Amino acid sequence: MHFSFLPDGFNEKRIIATNAKRIVRYLSVDLGERTIGKYENLERARRFIIESFRKGGVEPTEVTYKAGGRKVSNIIAEIKGTEYPDRIIVIGAHYDTVEDTPGADDNATGIAAVLELFRLLSPYGFKRTVRFAAFTLEEPPFFATAQMGSTVYAKGCKRKKERIELMVNFEMVGYASRRCRQDYPANHDMKTYPVYGNYISVITLTSCAESALLWKRIYDSRPGAKIYSYVGPASIRGMELSDHQSFIRSGYPAIMISDTAFYRNKNYHTPEDRYGTINFGFLAKTIHESRATLAELLNRKPQRPVSRKKA
């Protein structure tokens, strides 16, 4: 049984696209580079995200710490579960950029996905707790350091022994075209994957394969929806280059939803990663289908461990 919100999916996706345009335009055009070096832009992005959560009726919390001599914050908005409030699904993306880039796809599109998923899901009650997270300082020079925003947050969750069942990371989800050539890792079997970059993917390390396959199974079960899965070791370039790896390293299952980044988008980490390159119809469809997938995951009955009979 599919979780249904509105009968007219076309109109809903049009609204999502309109809202996503506003979010991506503000972050990548009005602000642009969002780094410690352009601290005021990073701060304005933080305030914009906080206000977006407040408009949805939730007062967010901030996990604030110091990095590069500045105060920075992860922003969290939570909706408690009605039956299993201790079981948590985190929906996250980072709001900073690489230096000298406007960061439209990387990662204003990810933040648009998180904020739109919050808008679409927050009016409803779900059995599990859903937590929306906007992370700071994912990009170099903080990537994979103790000061990376998602690392700070995931470690804090682990210290508190929180029961995060899944972290869903939105990383570059707006670049796609039927005319866009898709690249793949070396020695990759391309027989089951498209030649052109007009699809969305779910990506994770081998240790979290079950979570990726579950996401794919629910996502693909909806009429007209299709997502491609990539599961592999960290030795494959790109498999852990985002916030999901912070949660995996803290012992939580995590997946990344992505347009495959530099395997498709040649504007990756350049000044050409601009608003005008984003396919908002593609982004809206990804958000629309992800919302339904998340709703089903949030309402699933907890899986009981298989009991083993004594010999």
For residue 213, is it within any domain?
no
**What is the span of the domain harbouring residue 259?**
9-183+243-299
For residue 204, is it within any domain?
no
For residue 311, is it within any domain?
no
Give the predicted TM-score (pTM) of the model: 0.94
Q: Which of 71, 53, 105 is nearest to 258 (CA)?
A: 105
Cβ atoms of 94 and 267 closer than 8 Å: no
Percentage of residues in the chain with pLDDT exceeding 90? 88
Q: Which domain CATH number covers 35?
A: 3.40.630.10
State the pLDDT at residue 188. Answer: 75
For residue 193, is it within any domain?
no
Mean pLDDT, residues 93-111 taken together: 98
CB proximity list for 217: less than 8 A, separation 6 or greater: none
For residue 209, is it within any domain?
no
Q: How many domains does the chain have?
A: 1
**Cross-strand partners of 201:** 228, 258
CB proximity list for 223: less than 8 A, separation 6 or greater: none
What's the distance, Cα to Cα, between the start and end of the chain in Å?
A: 39
Query: Using one digit for the tens of pLDDT, what is the confidence trace for 165-192?
Result: 999 999 999 999 999 999 998 877 777 8
For residue 226, is it within any domain?
no
State the pLDDT at residue 2. Answer: 37
Q: How many CA atoms lie within 13 A of 104 on its CB side?
A: 23
For residue 309, is it within any domain?
no
For residue 224, is it within any domain?
no
Higher pLDDT residue, 8 or 146?
146
